[in-house]
Amino acid sequence: MHDVSSHVGHHAPPQGFFRKYVFSLDHKVIGKQYYGLGLLAVLIGMVLSWLMRIHLIAPNATIPGLKWLSSTGAPGGVMTPEYYLQLMTMHGTLMVFFVLTTVPLAGFGNYFLPIQIGAEDMAFPRFNMMSFWATFVGFCVLIAAFFVGDGPPLSGWTAYAPLSVLAGAGPGQAMGQTLWAVSIAIFCIGQLLGSLNFITTTLDLRTKGMMLMRMPLSTWAWFITSCIGLLAFAVLLPACILLILDRVAGTSFFVPSHLVISDQVISNHSGGSPLLWQHLFWFFGHPEVYIAILPAIGIVSHILINSYRRPLLSHRVVIYSMIAIGFLSYMVWGHHMFVSGMSPYSAVVFSFPTLAITIPATLITLIWIGSLYGAKLEVTSASLFALGFVSMFVTGGLSGFFLAQPSIDVYLHGTYFVVGHFHMVMGVAAIFGMFAGTYFWAPKMFGRMMSETLGKVHFWCTFVGAYCIFMPFHYLGLAGNVRRYSAFVDDYLQPLLPAHKFITFAALFTGAAQLIFLYNLVRSRFAGPPADENPWHGTSLEWATSSPPPWDNFGGRAPVVYHDPYQYGIEASSGDYVMQNSPEQIQTVREDKSLL
């Protein structure tokens, strides 16, 4: 149920520290809270990946400081195989759930969706607050797994049953795995509340003149993503509940009969189906990939248009493509299970929609690149990261060609090729979207400009570094290098070790380069030059209010919208652009109406 007194913009300006910054109902504060949480999670996740990479090239090396993190997992600072897997699980879980889902969608979405549609706040501010705090609690529960019994779970972020159900299956599978499941369940609830809020806000709270087709592409992306998330997390939640029940209540949803672990017969479970978990998980898991990447696509389009100084060749094609991707994402989960004992016929059934996703993805990419032709590119840190995103998206997308075909997946399935693929298209690409968004919107969020020079250095290091890390992953996969190995003992893996050394050094370099970004962010927050209302000469509504915006976004006057979102590259009084809320007439409409 909703609360009238707290209804859109009708909560009074918050008083007191807690109401203002902690338990705030203001979508802008909540957006920043999500962003901060994501930043914290991405730092932890990155350090974990460092530790993993170092262990891979020097399995018996003493890593300074590690013994303080876990005396059992790393006695004397030497990482054990199980601790490698435990860190890997935490890396995956933190990155997928608490970074890729929170920052581009919940972080930027919370802050800018209401502003871009001219609303004063989200539809249900209380749900919005609950959504963040649920996510935060989930985060704390997950981190707690580091400090219990024998540490976090080692079953990977996919937590395949029965490994994830049986406490005797290995270190971390007792308390750690339970905490993991509880954490994800709580996270699901948070995201469900968030999606509910986003969808309702977009449908009901658009200001006068803001027709759906006049919404910026970023808003469209957040809207579509929320629709995906609403259904995806509504499936992961039951899966987690079943997992928790299997673990703590002794039910048998996922554990079959007659299992024998370390010579001991598992007698308290019987008849369960491990594939059931895989189906439920991947029915969520594949849409999750698009939950991570679609907001980045929207943000990047929004930024590219601004730095192209022209609208995209077609606004609608991009929107319809995003919708198509969202729709298709629900028909392809089986491609994660080509070798898990599904019938070979269903493998074929899942293969074609997977390949079909290429078409809308290609459409978006072609529109991006085609619109760059004949454009006037303004090179900023934001636009560089956006262009870097395009490059990454293409690269990562193309390796999907291989994995979408069962016949090739049979060779590549469990290898580093998969790791390279999803890090490129989901990890790095989405994180590039986050960087682009940060450089673009930091002036609005904090009222200060970030340093462009540092931003460009940061971009170059990150871009080259990311390719140096993740391109070799594909090669290793082609050579059959199996993923999730804590050490490479097989004879055929020995020749590949130099490549792993290279990757590790690239990872250390790229990670270190992120300190530039952190420094830039913190410095600009306090010492950056103050930003005016519209530093990038943008057209959408977030540029029509002060930086940072007042607590009700537009100072009580709801803006009225007269134009499509991206009126660039025209002659107008304000320059080469007209803002959405300016009543000025436009002679030349750039958007190509020849289609649709």
Partner 1 sequence: MSVPVRHRAVIFFCALLTFVAGSVMFSQYKVKAAALSGSSISGIVRLEGTAPHQRPIDMSKEPSCALMHKANLVTTESVVAGPDGGLKNVVVYISQGWTGPAQASTASPILDQKGCQYIPHVMAVNAGQPFKVLNSDQTSHNVHPMPAPGGANQEWNKSQSPGAQPIVSSWNGEEVAIHVKCNIHPWMSGYIAVVKGPYSITNQKGAFRIENIPPGDYTLSAWQETYGTQTQKVTVAAGKPATVNFAFKAK
Partner 2 sequence: MATTIDAPPSIKNPASGTRRVQHIGPETPSTGIWIGLAAITMTFAAFTSAMVVRNGSAPDWRHFSFPPILYLNTVVLIASSLTLRMGQSRYLRLVSGIADSVSVVRALYGTLALGCLFVVGQYAAWLQLRWEGIYLATNPSSSFFYLFTALHASHVIGGLLGLIYVTSKLHRGILYKSTLDAASRYWHFMGVLWLYVLGLLWFRI
Partner 3 sequence: MAKFVAVTLIAIAIGSAIPILLHIWMPPADISTHGHLIDAQMADTMVEAGICFIAAQLILAVFIWLAASRPSGYKIRNFPGGSFVLVLAAFFLVGTEVLALGFFGTKAWANIYFTPPSADSLPVQVQAGQFAFYFRYPGPDGKFGPIHPEMINEANQNLFGIDVDHDQDAKDDIVTAEMGVPANKEVHLLMHSKDVGHSFYVRELRIQQDFVPGLDLSLHFTATKTGRYEIVCTQLCGLGHYNMKAYLNVMSPTDYDSWIKQQAALQ
Instruction: Give the contacts of 276 (CB within 8 A, at least 6 positions apart).
Output: 161, 253, 254
Asked if 260 is part of the footprint of partner 2 (rule: CB under 8 A), the reply reads: no
Determine, following the binding rule CB under 8 A, whether residue 81 of this chain makes contact with partner 3.
yes
Residue number, 171 or 295, with CB nearest to partner 1: 171
The DSSP symbol for 11 reads: S
Q: Which is nearer to partner 2, 164 or 201 (CB)?
A: 201
Residue 245 touching partner 2 (CB under 8 A) = yes
Q: Pick one of 313, 430, 503, 561: the residue that binds partner 3 (CB under 8 A).
A: 313
**Closest separation in Å from C-beta 209 to partner 3:** 25
According to DSSP, the residues that pair with 578 across neighbouring strands are 567
Tell me the two tokens of residue 336. Answer: 């994660």
Binding of partner 3 by 242 (CB under 8 A) = no
**Segment near partner 2 (CB under 8 A); pick from 105-113, 232-240, 383-391, 495-503:** 232-240
Residues between 467 and 486 with contacts to partner 1, criterion CB under 8 A: none
The strand pair at 264-265 and 567-572 is best described as unpaired
260 SS3 class: strand
Cα–Cα distance measured from residue 426 to residue 293, given in angstroms and rounded to the nearest whole number = 6
Give which of partner 2, partner 3, partner 1, none residue 245 binds (C-beta under 5 to 8 Å, depending on kind): partner 2
Angle in degrees, CA 144, 148, 154, rounded to 5: 85
Among residue numbers 339 through 378, which ones bind partner 2 (CB under 8 A)?
A: none
Q: Find out whether 123 and 172 touch, Cβ atoms under 8 Å.
A: no
Residue 133 tokens read as: 């705090």
CB proximity list for 429: less than 8 A, separation 6 or greater: 293, 296, 389, 392, 393, 396
Residues 476-515 close enough to bind partner 3 by CB under 8 A: 476, 478-480, 482-492, 496, 499
Per CB under 8 A, 151 contacts partner 1: no
> Residue 568: which H helix or E strand, with range?
strand 567-572
Element (H, E) at 297: helix 274-308
**CA–CA separation, 409 vs 411, rounded Å?**
5
| Options 2, 72, 494, 589; binder of partner 1; rule CB under 8 A | 72
- Cβ atoms within 10 Å of 323's Cβ, excluding its own: 16
Positions in 258-277 near partner 1 (CB under 8 A): 262-264
Pick the closer one to partner 2 by CB: 123 or 386: 123
Min dist CB 222 to partner 2, Å, is 15
Binders in 73-92 for partner 1, by CB under 8 A: 75-76, 78, 80-82
Q: Please state the closest distance from residue 276 (CB atom) to partner 2, in A.
A: 5
Q: Which does 192 bind (CB under 5 to 8 A by kind): partner 2, partner 3, partner 1, none?
A: partner 2
Query: What is 157-225 written as a DSSP string?
Result: TTT-TTTTT-GGGSTTTTHHHHHHHHHHHHHHHHHHHHHHHHHHHHHH---TT--GGGS-HHHHHHHHH
Is the CB of 207 or the CB of 351 nearer to partner 2? Answer: 207
Which of partner 2, partner 3, partner 1, none is residue 28 near (CB under 5 to 8 Å by kind)?
A: none
Among residues 333, 362, 360, 326, the alpha carbon closest in space to that of 349 is found at 333
Q: Which of residues 538-577 bind partner 2 (CB under 8 A)?
A: 558
Binding status of residue 26 toward partner 2 by CB under 8 A: no
Smallest separation, CB 461 to partner 2 (Å):
42
What b/e readout covers 39-65, taking b as 16+ CB neighbours within 10 angstroms?
bebbebbbebbbbbbbbbbebeeebee
Q: Binding to partner 1 by residue 343, rule CB under 8 A?
A: no
Q: Does 572 bind partner 3 (CB under 8 A)?
A: no
Q: Which two tokens stand for residue 584?
A: 């000025």
8 A C-beta contact, residue 241 and residue 185: yes
Residues in 186-225 that interact with partner 2 by CB under 8 A? 192, 195-196, 199-201, 203-208
Tokens representing residue 125 in the block: 């501010």
Site string for partner 2, 97-136 (x = CB under 8 A): ---------------------xxx--xx------------
59 binds partner 1 (CB under 8 A): yes
- How far are the Cα atoms of 13, 100, 262, 267 from residue 255, in angstroms, in the given order? 53, 31, 16, 11
Least spacing, CB of residue 309 vs partner 3, in Å:
7
Residue 414 to residue 409: CA distance in whole angstroms: 9
Cβ proximity of 187 and 194 under 8 Å:
no
CB of 545 to partner 2, least distance (A): 14
Using the minimum distance from each CB to partner 3, give the nearer residue, 339 or 515.
339
Instruction: Closer to partner 3 by CB, 71 or 362: give it.
Output: 362
Size of the site for partner 2 (CB under 8 A): 51
- Residue 532 C-beta: closest distance to partner 3, Å: 22
Q: Is 367 left (phi over 0), alpha (psi -120 to 50) or beta?
A: alpha
- Site residues for partner 1, 479-518, by CB under 8 A, read 487, 489
Query: CB-wise, 88 or 115, nearer to partner 2?
Result: 115
Contact 543, 305 (CB under 8 A): no
72 binds, among partner 1, partner 3, partner 2, none (CB under 5 to 8 A by kind): partner 1
The partner in contact with residue 418, picked from partner 1, partner 3, partner 2, none with C-beta cut-offs of 5 to 8 angstroms by kind, is: none
Site residues, partner 2 (CB under 8 A): 1-2, 4, 7-10, 118-120, 123-124, 192, 195-196, 199-201, 203-208, 230-231, 234-235, 237-239, 241-242, 245, 249-253, 256-257, 270-273, 275-276, 279-280, 283, 558
